[in-house]
Amino acid sequence: MAAFVDRVTLHATAGNGGHGCVSIKREKFKPLGGPDGGNGGNGGDIILRVDPQVTTLLDFHHLPHRKAGNGEPGKGGLRPGKQGQDLILGVPAGTVIKTRDGDILADLVNVGDEFLAAAGGQGGLGNAAIASDKRKAPGFALLGIPGQEQDVVMELKSVADIALVGYPSAGKSSLIAAVSAARPKIADYPFTTLVPNLGVVQAGEVRFTVADVPGLIPGASEGKGLGHEFLRHVERCAAIVHVLDCASLESDRDPITDLETIEAELASYEADSTFAGTDGTIVPLVERPKLVALNKVDMPDGKDMADFVRPELESRGYQVFEISALARDGLRDLSFAMAKLVEEARASRVVETPVVEVPVIRPRSVNKREFYIRREEQNLEPLWRVIGEKPERWIMQTDFRNDEAVGYLADRLAKLGVETQLFKAGAKPGDAVVIGVEENSVVFDWEPTMAAGAELLGSRRGEDVRLEDRGARKTREEKRAEHEDRKAAKAAARDELEAERRAGIWTESVHAKAAERKAKQRAQEDQ
Give the residue ranges of the annotated binding site for Mg(2+).
173, 193
| Inter-residue contact 4 to 109 (CB < 8 Å) | no
Task: Say which amino acid occupies 272.
Answer: D
Nearest to 46 by CA among 72, 69, 17, 68: 68
**Which of left, alpha, beta for 417 (phi over 0: left; psi -120 to 50: alpha)?**
left
Per the annotation, binding residues are 166-173, 191-195, 212-215, 295-298, 324-326
Distance CA 245, CA 188 (A): 13
Helical pair 476-502 and 505-526, crossing angle rounded to 10 deg: 50
Pairing of strands 319-322, 372-378: unpaired
Burial class (CB in 10 A: 0-12, 13-18, 19+), 110: exposed
In this structure, what is the dihedral angle of CA atoms 101, 232, 95, 177, given to the nearest 10 degrees? 160
- How does DSSP classify residue 246? S
Element housing 423 (H / E): helix 418-425
H helices present in 431-504, as ranges: 476-502
Q: Are strands 206-212 and 197-203 parallel, antiparallel or unpaired?
A: antiparallel
- Per the annotation, binding residues for GTP are 166-173, 191-195, 212-215, 295-298, 324-326
